[in-house]
Chains A and B, each alone.
Chain A
Amino acid sequence: MLTDTENIIEVRGLKKAFDQNMVLKDINFAVKKEEKVVIIGPSGGGKSTLLRCLNHLDGNYTGDVLFKGQNLGQLSKKELQLCRRKMGMVFQQFNLFPHKSVLENITFAPIKLKLLSEAEAIDNAHDLLKQVGLDEKANAYPQSLSGGQQQRVAIVRSLAMQPEVMLFDEPTSALDPEMVGEVLGVMTRLAKTGMTMVIVTHEMDFAQQIADKILFMDNGHVADIGTPDYLFNHSKNFRTRTFLAKVM
């Protein structure tokens, strides 16, 4: 079944509608191992919807989404859960569990899913927290943290599952401007470790620096695709240029 093992994620002819509203109209692209793919585009263009199809959070689409050659639409619930473990997801609104401490947020899934013993999970969580400079917050509850701190914990929570790819949906859009840098910093360091990443963002400088490939999504289409250099400096695509002119 592993047709093309180099592709961690492959999307073929993906279409999705909410009732009559076509939100994704024939999307095709692939994400290779260690590749950083950034998705940009105007609000309502379908970026979040696309990301939620990649880990089958929303499975109500036509077309194929493959994770390491496995077609998510054809997997059993159990197999799907195994795939999702390997795909970390970071949300705009952090979505930490408010009734669990920072440490519990990070260790809950690995312990529950028996990936690690409790002691190992706790050690691992402290290690990861140190890497993002938040170990002293291990016993704090999410609401006592700033937005930037919460998002760093959310990233750590995903990393604790030892994912093979990380999906980010506008991870800094809900943050006060002074906290954007700390989160982008964590992501940049993560990128250097070789993590495969798919990132939806409006931070154009960051996109330009981190991306191997940028998708410009507009109105349900991948309207333009290419290296940062191509997209920012050479693309002749009218919609790409209008969008970039507005946001840069």
Chain B
Amino acid sequence: MFDFLQQYYPVFIQGAAQTVVISLIGICIGILLGLVVVAMNLSKFKPFAWLAKTYIAIVRGTPAMIQVMLIYYVLSKALPIPDIRFLGSSLDRVIPGSIALGVNSGAYTAEIFRSGIMSIAVGQTEAGISLGLSENTTLFSIIMPQAVRNILPAMGNEFISLIKESSVLFYIGVQEVTAQALGVGGTLYNFIPPLLVAAAIYFVLTFVLSQLLKLAENRMGRKYVALN
């Protein structure tokens, strides 16, 4: 049933590599955007907070596929990205696609950050401030380390769903692993075996990631248990 792999395995490896690359870029953009958006959302300057809330609401309330297509079509008009091949796809698809994944993920990450910061008791901030520490020192040395630990499980879930959701880039022609599986299926006139292979690849990727995150959680959790 899986004989085709002897011939097509390079295609799957390329697709898997493409999936990893777009997911990594998406995660990085998502984290950076999430940080900016959470700062805006919690800011006392109302227009910033309003902008952040609007962005989050729109991303959460519309299908990822439409977001990806919109961003792709807008960016390909606005940005002259050279048509360079990279892991079986053109960069003028990979780059807008990864940005779209990041824009989508940023909204969820921002909300995770917000709940992480809110979950640190007000008392921790007051303790820092009353020792004469600056607001920045209190935020970065007292609140953030605890927030990071609190949000790690939720961030892990977000990374995992981003890897799976990255298959939407198939719609704009990025040859990630789903697209490659469909291509192979078309050649074989049988979609089931290649799709099973693609599913297995996603499973391995998310499984490895979740194990790594568990390791990180344990390392951080060894020293203390949250007091809230």
Contacts and interface: CB of A to CB of B under 8 A. Distances in A.
Interface of A: 52, 55, 57, 77, 81-89, 91, 93, 95-99, 108-109, 112-113, 141-143, 157-158, 161
B131 A141 contact: no
Interface string B1-13: 0000000000000
B224 A99 contact: yes
A97 B127 contact: yes
Contact of A55 (B123, B124, B130, B145): B130
B146 A161 contact: no
B62 interface: no
B227 A142 contact: yes
A161 B149 CA distance: 28
Contacts of A55: 130
A91 B126 contact: yes
**B124, B131, B227: which has the most chain A beta carbons within 10 Å?**
B131
A97 B124 contact: yes
Contact of A98 (B133, B137, B141, B224): B224
Contacts of A85: 131-132
17 contacts: A57-B130, A81-B132, A81-B133, A81-B134, A82-B132, A84-B131, A89-B130, A93-B123, A95-B124, A98-B225, A109-B132, A112-B133, A113-B132, A143-B224, A157-B131, A158-B130, A161-B132
Contacts of A57: 126, 129-130
B124 to A, nearest CB: 6
B78 interface: no
Contacts of B149: 99
Nearest to A97: B142
A99 B132 contact: no
B124 A87 contact: no
Interface in B100-125: 121, 123-124
B137 A99 contact: no
B44 interface: no
A141 B225 CA distance: 9
A197 to B, nearest CB: 15
B130 A87 contact: yes
B137 to A, nearest CB: 6
Contacts of A86: 132
Contacts of B145: 99
A84 B224 contact: no
Contacts of B126: 52, 57, 89, 91, 95
Contact of A95 (B127, B137, B224, B225): B127
A108 B131 CA distance: 10
A194 to B, nearest CB: 22
Nearest to A78: B134
A112 B131 CA distance: 11
B131 A143 contact: no
B122 to A, nearest CB: 9
**Residue from A84, A87, A97, A142 with most neighbouring chain B CB atoms (10 Å):** A97
Contacts of A87: 130
B219 interface: no
Nearest to B127: A95
Contacts of B146: 98-99
A109 B142 contact: no
B77 interface: no
Given A84-B132, A157-B131, A161-B132, A99 B121 contact: no
Counting chain B CB atoms within 10 Å of each CB, the highest count among A77, A81, A91 belongs to: A81
B141 A112 contact: yes
B131 A158 contact: yes
